[in-house]
Structure 1
Amino acid sequence: MMAVLVRLRRDTGRADLIAVLVAVGLFAVAAAVGGLLYLLGRPVHASAAPLFAHWRPHVGLGTPLAVAVAVLVCWRGPALAARLPWRWLLVLSYATAVAWTLSLALIDGWRRGIAGRLTTRHEYLHEVPGVTDISAMLSAFTTRILDFQPDSWTTHVAGHPPGALLVFVWLDRVGLSGGGWAGALCILMAALTAVAVPHTVQLLGTDDAARAVLPFAALFPGAVWSGVSADGLFAGVSATGVALLAYGVTRGSALGALAGGALLGFGCYLSYGLVLMVPIALAVVFLGHRHRPAAWWALGGAALVVGAFTAAGFDWLAGYHLVIERYYQGIASRRGYGYWVWANLAILTVAAGPAAAVVLRRAAVAGWQAISSLRRRAGIIELYGGGPGYAAWLLPLAAAAAIVAADLSGYSKAEVERIWLPFTWWLMAGAALIPSTGRRTWLTAQAAVALTVNHLLLTAW
């Protein structure tokens, strides 16, 4: 039996490597095709295709800190995650995620990497001074979505529901104005994912599975784009909503489910695309079988948010249809679907890191094993999901379903390294599927990807 298990692990290890090589190969092909199309006079409108960035090798203030965080987490992270008390681990994971995201942003410098990111003419802060009456802004929001009119919203404000702009208006109203505070808010909110994702796995799965997730969630390559972009904030809000929903359906807490539903509902008013959190939320409800009726409280929480925005005069559906029209008034009309529908997926190799390919491969096998009920050997059960539990494979597959839906929709053409942050972080929920002997290796690969990208490229967000 032991010989069979050793051979099985060797075979699956080889399959993991093949999955990663396929993902890297897809990225290389996307880069080569993007360059070729540029030479042929048919640019894909992404300077470092498929990434939306500029080639500019550089180092900065955050370089030594980012390297130090990466080394410490790769060296001690898995061991600490295995033995420290859970509450202290969550605090440490959050602090690590903040340090990691902040240090990556500071590689570009304080002004260029943090304080100036959200102050350009395309960003939210450009519109904040003009919002003197929040009620009037909400009721007239949809009238300013379309471009080529005197009072058109700037690109990012027009491309999102008013909740995103509201967050920065509220921040300004409490006296925390300017790009520095806005950037800090995005970093602090994005880091909540390093708590929410593993805690959700802990609630729905097992303690060991959740502990395996912690280092991968804290040292996530997508932190390159969550610091600083509003999409990092969106990821933190939605992940916290999912974690509260998980608490509600596992502990029978109506208040937890209500709060989770309210946050997920508010997420849909931060970004239209966050309606695609539905597969992840449904996976949580399915896994929280003990108290599924609590999910009705979550629907109630979401309904309260929808009702409040609707009463204030904002029609979500009208805004969504106008955004589609605005989307094709700009660069999206020149970005070919035929290239981006697969090049978007190539970006995941960088944004979610190579470990995502390993997790998805193993999650797919685990899902197939569960659906077909082919549980004939204890070794297969332990390797493919029986040990870490269903949460370790169902949550990543739910995130993958959201990503595929976003990709096929055609409304995510390029820039998905930041746009898909609310989904890609959940791929790390399956870190327990990676054998413990290989976790440090893949964790190191994750850190190396983020450091390489941030030092070779000047990202736009």
Structure 2
Amino acid sequence: MSRTSDREPRATRPVGSHDRDGRVAAWGVGVALVLVALAFALPHLLGWDVHTRASRSSVDAPLIPPLHGWLEPKLLGPGTLPALALAVLGWTWFGRWARTARWGRLLLVGYLLCLGWCLALALVDGPSGLSRVLGSDVEYLPTARSVTDVGALLGEYVSRIPYAAAPDNWPTHVAGHPPLMLLFFVGLVHLGLGGDLAAGVVVTVVGATLPLAVLVAARALGAERHARAAAPFLVLSPVAVFVAVSADAVIGATMAWGLAALAVAATTRGRGWLPWSVVAGLLLGAGVMMSYGMPLMGLVALAVLATARSWRPLVPAALAALAVVLGFALAGFAWWEAYPVLHDRYWDGIAADRPAAYWLWGNLAALVVITGPLVPGALAVAGARLRAVSPLAGPARDAVRTVVLLSLATALVVLLADASRMSKAETERIWVPFVPWLTLAVALLPGVLEGRGRWLRVGLAVQLAGTILVQQLFYTSW
């Protein structure tokens, strides 16, 4: 086993700072819990029809806005006991081991633990937990199975977005995303992995790499000790309920590895920075061609470069990303032409009925459900630290700067996406790509970095228990 990186010595904090951080975190957690309680309770208490997609189904069970789904308690499913076992393993062993393990072993074990966590939670509902979503008529797979000509697909993609193109308009998820996400599933079909269950497993295998990319990026930016401290919260996050079979997990993984490559490029000495910059740009460009919301992650990319204090990778990465976007335009799909058409389709549909007075804050309540209540408290601490990090010098202080800038830049992205009103009631799945970057802030909670205290022990237990409770109590549509 190796010692924690020598580049990141222990920081000394002023006396009483842990108490102040604890109070700030407690306020953050408290506000988040009140937000969630109101989001679940008010539609029922006041008789609001907030028009989740599930509310137009023939389901008899109580609906659960702000989540897509309904109340469906399960006493015991095939994945329940494995999920409990992994939770106990993570709580009793993984966090302590992650602080001193060799880096490569940490990434490998962390990935296997995250993948097991995602699969176990999905299998609480049996094999259908991995297959039912992707087999839906509104998802990508049914369309992907019918694609025989990619060139023709790209050429007609924009024209089939509007509802006016009926009966040839794309189903919901295909219309709502650029074509690379559909092409991912077309590739799975051609590889013989186009069955509902097989594709669900592939998506989960890819999505489970998301926290690893965040760990790699944080380490490259000099925050290895903080990354190790946050590792159990990243690997065993509540977002795992929605990572399994969610295409947004693939989008998030693509963007996360692009940002990790950018962090490596910004901190690499010698000629290696250039190829890493190109790789970063290609991945980030691919993410943009998977989701219309991903250009906002450019703010996190800028935070990576600001943290590294190196702007050298900016131009080659931007050119590589632009090459991906322009390549699709030359093939027939222009991102800038498609987005306004999607905007019109979105507002021609159920989005016009979804009250912004609820969803502007209901969306954020759904985000809290998939981050767990500890993350809003950690973000409150990051916000309180923001004014102090810029002038601080030394590698230990730079580690705090890394965590603060990355987590708060992501929080800003979330707020901008929410304010756009293009995310009304799309809720939990659309926040999946952002959750690990927000969760990194947990390393700032009192005692977590040192491996002790109630914010670590009790906080992690609450995160784990809440995750299993959500999976056991609710039927979630994603």
Say if 2:429 is the partner of 1:408. no
Q: Which residue of 2 aligns with 1:194?
A: 211
> C-alpha displacement at 1:224, in angstroms?
0.6
237, 244, 247: which one aligns with 1:227: 244
Distance 1:370 1:54, change over 3 A: same
CA distance in 2, matches of 1:409, 1:257: 30
In 1: Cα distance, 2:317 partner to 2:335 partner: 19
Q: 1:395 aligns with which of 403, 406, 411?
A: 406
Distance in 2 (alpha carbons) for counterparts of 1:388 and 1:48: 39
Q: Which residue of 1 aligns with 2:162?
A: 146
- Residue pair 2:389, 2:400 contacting (<8 A) in 1 also: no
Question: In the superposition, relative to structure 1, how do residues 245 and 42 fare at CA in structure 2: closer, same or farther (>3 Å)?
Answer: closer
User: d(CA) in 1 for partners of 2:229 and 2:86?
Assistant: 18
**Match of residue 32 from structure 2:** 23
State whether structure 2 residue 433 is matched by structure 1 residue 422.
Answer: yes
Q: Specify whether residues 40 and 394 from structure 1 end up closer, same or farther in structure 2 by C-alpha distance, changes over 3 A only.
A: closer
Distance across 2 between alignment mates of 1:344 and 1:42: 12
Write out per-residue CA displacement over residues 352-375 of structure 1, whole angstroms, 9 at most, x where no aligned residue.
11121122011101112235x5x7
| Cα separation, 2, equivalents of 1:360 and 1:386 | 17
- The RMSD of aligned alpha carbons is 2.0
CA contact (8 A) 2:145 2:194 kept: no
How far apart, CA to CA, are the structure 1 residues paired with 2:137 and 2:163? Answer: 14
- Distance 1:216-1:186 versus aligned 2 partners, 3 A rule: same
1:11-43 deviation line (CA, Å, top 9, x unaligned)? 432332222111100111111222134x25665
Instruction: State the Cα deviation string for residues 83-138 of structure 1 (Å, max 9, x = none).
Output: 10011101111111101111111111112x11221011111011112211001001
Q: What CA deviation, in whole Å up to 9, does each residue of 1:309-335 have, x standing for no partner?
A: 011010111111111111122221111
Matched, 1:312 2:312: no
Which residue number in structure 2 is paired with residue 346 of structure 1? 365
Q: Give the alignment partner of residue 349 of structure 2, picking from 327, 330, 335.
A: 330
**Offset at residue 57 of structure 1 (A):** 0.3
Q: Distance in 2 between matches of 1:304 and 1:41?
A: 44
Change (3 A) 1:93 1:42: closer
Q: Are 2:229 and 2:443, in contact at CA under 8 Å, matched by a contact in 1?
A: yes
Given the superposition, is the C-alpha separation of residues 76 and 324 from structure 1 closer, same or farther in structure 2, using an over 3 Å criterion?
same
Question: What letter is aligned with 2:373?
Answer: P
User: What corresponds to 1:276 in structure 2?
Assistant: 296
Deviation at 1:342?
1.1
Give the whole-Å Cα distance in 2 for the aligned partners of 1:387 and 1:410. 35
| Partners of 2:87 and 2:355 in 1: CA distance | 37
Partner of 2:68: 52
Separation of aligned partners in 2, 1:176 and 1:299 = 33
Residue 399 of structure 2 aligns to a residue whose secondary structure is coil
Deviation of the 1:184 alpha carbon: 1.2
* Structure 2 counterpart of 1:69, from 54, 67, 86: 86
Q: Given the alignment, which residue of 352, 366, 379 partners 1:360? A: 379
Task: Tell me by how many angstroms 1:276 deviates.
Answer: 1.2
- In structure 1, distance between residues paired with 2:389 and 2:16: 22
Alignment of 1:38-187 (within 5 A): 39=47, 47-58=63-74, 59-111=76-128, 113-148=129-164, 149-187=166-204
Q: 1:440 aligned to 448, 457, 461, which one? A: 457
SS at match of 1:390: helix
Does the Cα contact within 8 Å between 2:27 and 2:377 map onto a contact in 1? no
TM-aligned CA deviation for residue 162 of structure 1: 0.6
Distance 1:305 1:55 in 2: 42
Q: Which amino acid aligns with 2:257?
A: T
Q: Structure 1 counterpart of 2:410, which letter? A: A
**Across the two proteins, how many residue pairs are aligned to each other?**
447
Cα 1:332–1:136 change in 2 (3 A) is same
Instruction: Tell me: CA distance 1:13–1:306, structure 2 relative to 1, closer, same or farther (3 Å).
Output: same
Counterpart residue identity of residue 209, structure 1:
H
CA displacement at 1:5 relative to structure 2: 5.4
Q: 1:321 aligns with which of 336, 340, 343?
A: 340
Separation in structure 2 between the aligned mates of residue 417 and residue 164 of structure 1, nearest angstrom: 18
Give the equivalent residue in structure 2 for 1:254: 274
CA contact (8 A) 2:277 2:313 kept: yes
Q: Greater helix percent: which structure? A: 1
Contact 1:262–1:302 (CA<8 Å) still a contact in 2?
yes
Moved over 6 A (4+): none
Q: Structure 1 residues 181 and 15 mapped into 2: Cα distance closer, same or farther (>3 Å)?
A: same
SS of the residue 2:70 aligns to: strand
In the alignment, is the contact (CA less than 8 A) between 1:205 and 1:390 conserved in 2? no
| Structure 1, unaligned runs of 5 or more | none
Q: TM-score, normalised by structure 2?
A: 0.90
- Listed as ranges, the matches of 1:289-300 within 5 Å are 289=309, 291-300=310-319
| Shift in CA distance, 192/41, structure 1 to aligned 2, threshold 3 Å | closer
Q: Is the 8 A contact 1:248 1:295 kept in 2?
A: no
Q: CA deviation at 1:216?
A: 1.3
Given that residues 407 and 440 in structure 2 are in contact (C-alpha distance below 8 angstroms), is that contact kept between their aligned partners in structure 1?
A: yes
What letter matches 1:26 in structure 2? Answer: L
The answer on whether the counterparts of 2:115 and 2:208 sit within 8 Å (CA) in structure 1 is: yes
- Determine the structure 2 residue equivalent to 1:208: 225
Q: Using the alignment, how far apart are the partners of 1:154 and 1:40 within structure 2?
A: 28
Alignment of 1:14 onto 2:31: no
Please give the per-residue CA displacement for 1:37-93, whole angstroms capped at 9, x wherever unaligned: 4x2566566620111111000131110111111111111122111110011101111
Cα separation, 1, equivalents of 2:42 and 2:387: 34
Query: What percentage of aligned pairs have identical amino acids?
Result: 37
